[in-house]
Amino acid sequence: MTTANPCIFDTPAALGLAVARDIADRIAAAKGQRFLLGCPGGRSPQPVYAALAGLVAERGLDLSGLVIVMMDDYVIETATGFAHVDAGAHFSCRRFAWADIQAVLNAQLDEACRIPAANVWFPDPAAPQDYDRRIAAAGGVDYFLLASGAGDGHIAFNPPGSPKDSLTRVVKLAEQTRRDNLQTFPDFASIEAVPQYGVTVGIETIRAQSRAVGMVVWGAGKRAAYRRLASAASYDPDWPATIYALCANATLYADRAAVGQPE
C-alpha cells in the first residue's frame, strides 16, 4: 500500500535524485543479478534517469543484470494486425528506451557492466499477453517507476475506464492522452499526427507484477494528477494511475509545483 505521506521536493531534480538513490540502492543490493526496472517514457521520469546515470557512474554499479521493462509503445494497424511504429520515429518508445534510458545509463560504464541490448524489453503488439508471462517468469518487476497523465490520469497507455483486471493489450488511445502527448513529443505537428493505438501493460500487470513502486508527478501541469493520487485509497477507473495506491511498497513523489506550494 502507499505511504501515509507523499514525499515532496523543491524541484524535479531533487525529486529525481531521491528516487534514483532508492533505485540505485536496490540495484547495488542485487549484486549484478537480474533486476527488473519498469520504465515509462516521456518527460516525467527523465529527472530520475538523469540522476540514476550519475549515481551509476559515481558508485561504479554493475548494470549487466538490469532489465529495462518498458510499459508501452505506439502501434499502427496493418493488414495482418498491429505492429510497432518505426523505431526511429521521434515518438517511438523503443527509441526512447535505447536513447534516453539504456544509452544514458551505460554512458560511463565499462562494457562488462553495461545493460545489454537483450535486456531492454517491450510488449509485442502481435502477442501482448506474452509480456505478462515473460515478466512473471522472471519473478516480477523489482521496482516499477510510474507516471500519471496530466489531463486524464492515464498510466502507460491505459485510458480512463480501463478495467482493474486488464493485462497487456493493444488499446485505442483516449483523445486526452493523445493531446497530453503533444506536449511530451513537441515534434508532432498536430493531434492528427499522434497515433491512435498503443500497446500497453495492463492495470493488473502493474499491480500484480510490481514489488515496489514510485509514482512521480512534477510541474504545475500535474496539480490535478497530484490531487487525485494523494487522496487515492483504491482504484478509480476514471483516473487509471490510481492503481498505484493498491501496489506493494508504493510511494508518491511530487515537487512543490505539482502540490501547489510556493518554492
Give the pLDDT band (50/70/90) at residue 81.
Answer: very high
Please report the domains of the chain, with CATH numbers, ordered by start residue: 7-259 (3.40.50.1360)
pLDDT band at 39 (very low <50, low <70, confident <90, very high): very high
The answer on pLDDT for 62 being more than 80 is: yes
- pLDDT tens digits, 177-195: 888 878 778 888 899 988 9
Residue 32 pLDDT: 86
> Is the pLDDT reported for residue 125 higher than 60?
yes
Flag whether pLDDT at 262 surpasses 90. Answer: no
Task: Measure the CA dihedral 214/131/158/10, to 10°.
Answer: 20
Q: What's the N-to-C CA distance of the chain in angstroms?
A: 29
Q: Is the pLDDT of residue 142 over 80?
A: yes
Place 263 in a pLDDT band, splitting at 50, 70 and 90.
Answer: low
Do the beta carbons of residue 53 and residue 23 sit within 8 Å? Answer: no
Backbone angles phi, psi at 130, to 5 degrees: -60, -25
Is 60 exceeded by the pLDDT of residue 67?
A: yes
How far is it, in rounded angstroms, from Cα 244 to Cα 158?
A: 13
At 179 the pLDDT is 87
Which pLDDT does position 141 carry in this prediction?
98
Report whether pLDDT(78) > 60.
yes
Residue 221, C-alpha cell as written in the block? 501541469
Torsion angles phi and psi, residue 134, rounded to 5? -65, -45
Name residue 141's amino acid.
Answer: V
Report which residue type is found at 126.
A
H/E segment holding residue 42 = none
pTM: 0.94
Phi, psi of 65 (to 5 degrees): -100, 0
Q: Is the pLDDT of residue 204 over 80?
A: yes
Q: Are 149 and 225 in contact (CB under 8 A)?
A: yes
Alpha carbons 169 and 157: distance in angstroms, whole number: 10
CA distance 52 to 258: 22
Tell whether the model's pLDDT for residue 3 goes beyond 80: no
Of how many residues is the chain composed?
263
Q: What confidence score (pLDDT) does residue 4 get?
A: 53
Q: How far is CA 122 from CA 64, 118, 130, 136, 137, in A?
A: 18, 11, 11, 14, 15
Question: Is residue 1 scored above 80 in pLDDT?
Answer: no
Please give the pLDDT value at position 182: 83
Beta strands 66-70; 120-121: pairing state: parallel
* pLDDT level of residue 172 (50, 70, 90 thresholds): very high
